[in-house]
Amino acid sequence: MKTYDVIGLGNALMDLLVEVDDNKLLEFNLAKGEMHLVEEDQAKLLLEKINQHQLKIEKVPGGSAANTLKCISFLGGKSILCGKVGTDEHGEIYIQEIQKNGVSTKINTHPSITGHALTFITPDSERTFSVHLGAAIQLAKEDVLEEDIQKSKVLHLEGYQIEGPTKETILHAIELAKKHNTLVSIDLADPGLIRRNKEFLKDLVMNHADIVFVNETEAKEFTGLEPEEAVQELANHVKIAIVKIGKEGSLICKDGIVNFIEPFLTEAIDTTGAGDSYAAGFLYGFCNDWDLEKAGKLGSLLASKVVERIGVNLKDLNSEQLKQEVN
């Protein structure tokens, strides 16, 4: 009956990585180190400028939930992504590449441009983002198929989609999950998002979520508590609560019992995707009936490998070896 481990709903964003010097950032009017959310005109203008300067763009399909699914498939799990791209070249590449990573797709198109996260990397390794959500936020109820949710053990959501037009889509997907005994997992994603939507998220987490992922800052914003108390407070309302504390490790709580998961110490080069890959390791283990500690350890190990590289890059990693290592 449950042929998929995890179905994910997420903003399908093409990650566009560009190496630049500080002068280019000035020319592009981007404050260094910040995340700029831009409209279509501005996004197109920026892409034109990059072309004019003949800067090299590395294109990798991204988005938080999509990254998690990519990692679950890498580990040998079965995952399916429900998202929306534009009717353009990036849309085609997005679908092709995500499928190459072993993720099944239910990705429809919308006549606008594919969402992207332009990431400018300066020589000091700092990152400056210009994000245009484009077609991603057009993901509608009709794009979510009941049978796909029915066939999945877990529905994984990213907090980003609870703002804007995708909010209704998320609520619809949750309703379908409840109907078919599919567990609801959500990563709350960002402290600002929690601040802006606290009442809504409290209701969502307390009444509809089964598994909730937050980092330390998000936990503080959501509960007002430090990690250890926060994870217990959250677990009073959900089956499994997880608070991640970066290189200090993570806490997993179920039925009032808190497990501390050790970090795998390493030299972090780029922490993009730490949370997404951690969720993947945990959910893979959870779907295979591993105990919580072992599932958390796999999340922690995979995340440590991802932060050693630029972007969510799984090349040359051996999933069987990683699974052995947490045994």
Ligand X SMILES: Nc1ncnc2c1ncn2[C@@H]1O[C@H](COP(=O)(O)OP(=O)(O)OP(=O)(O)O)[C@@H](O)[C@H]1O
Q: How many residues bind ligand X (CB under 6 A)?
A: 22
- Dmax over CA atoms of the chain, in Å, equals 58
Rule CB under 6 A: say whether 181 interacts with ligand X: no
Shortest distance (Å) from residue 262 CB to ligand X: 8
Q: Residue 147: how many CB atoms within 10 A of its CB?
A: 9
Alpha helices in the chain (DSSP H): 22-27, 40-52, 64-75, 89-100, 146-150, 166-179, 191-196, 198-208, 216-223, 227-235, 274-287, 292-306, 319-325
Alpha-carbon span 183 to 181, nearest angstrom: 6
Q: Which of 62, 273, 275, 299 binds Mg ion (CB under 5 A)?
A: 275
CB closest to ligand X, residue no: 275
**Residue number, 113 or 251, with CB nearest to ligand X:** 251
Q: Are 65 and 9 in contact (CB under 8 A)?
A: yes
Tokens of 222: 């959501």
Alpha-carbon span 168 to 182, nearest angstrom: 18
Alpha-carbon span 131 to 128, nearest angstrom: 10
Rule CB under 6 A: say whether 36 interacts with ligand X: no
Rule CB under 6 A: say whether 268 interacts with ligand X: yes
Q: Could you say which of Mg ion, ligand X, none residue 250 binds, taking C-beta under 5 to 8 angstroms by partner kind? A: ligand X
Site string for ligand X, 81-120 (x = CB under 6 A): ----------------------------------------
| Residue 285 half-sphere exposure toward CB, CA atoms < 13 A | 23
**Residue number, 143 or 276, with CB nearest to ligand X:** 276
- State the DSSP code for 226: -
Q: Which of 8, 77, 86, 249 binds ligand X (CB under 6 A)?
A: 249
Rule CB under 6 A: say whether 274 interacts with ligand X: yes
Tokens of 101: 């990573």
What 3-state class would DSSP assign to 212? strand
Alpha-carbon span 1 to 37, nearest angstrom: 41
Q: Could you say which of Mg ion, ligand X, none residue 274 binds, taking C-beta under 5 to 8 angstroms by partner kind? A: ligand X
Site string for Mg ion, 221-260 (x = CB under 5 A): ----------------------------------------
Q: Which stretch binds Mg ion (CB under 5 A): 3-11, 116-124, 268-276, 285-293?
A: 268-276
Rule CB under 6 A: say whether 304 interacts with ligand X: yes
Q: Could you say which of ligand X, Mg ion, none residue 244 binds, taking C-beta under 5 to 8 angstroms by partner kind? A: ligand X
Where does this chain bind Mg ion (CB under 5 A)?
275
Where does this chain bind ligand X (CB under 6 A)?
215, 244-247, 249-250, 263-266, 268, 271, 273-276, 278, 300, 303-304, 307
